[in-house]
Amino acid sequence: MKGEGRFPNGTVRAHMVLRYGVEMSTAVVELQYYLVFFGIG
């Protein structure tokens, strides 16, 4: 548990990975909606 308060590298990295994953998931969902829209239209 030493150094976690001073150097929260794990927390920062986890936050960045989570944010990146959310952005990628949103992009994939939007892409699927575009494909369905153009496929029907």
The pTM of the whole model exceeds 0.85: no
Return per-residue pLDDT of the chain as tens, 41 residues. 454 556 567 788 888 999 999 999 999 999 999 999 888 75
Q: Where are the domains of the chain?
A: 11-40
pLDDT for position 39? 85
pLDDT for position 31? 92
- Cβ proximity of 10 and 4 under 8 Å: yes
Tell me the torsion sign for CA atoms 33, 35, 39, 41: positive
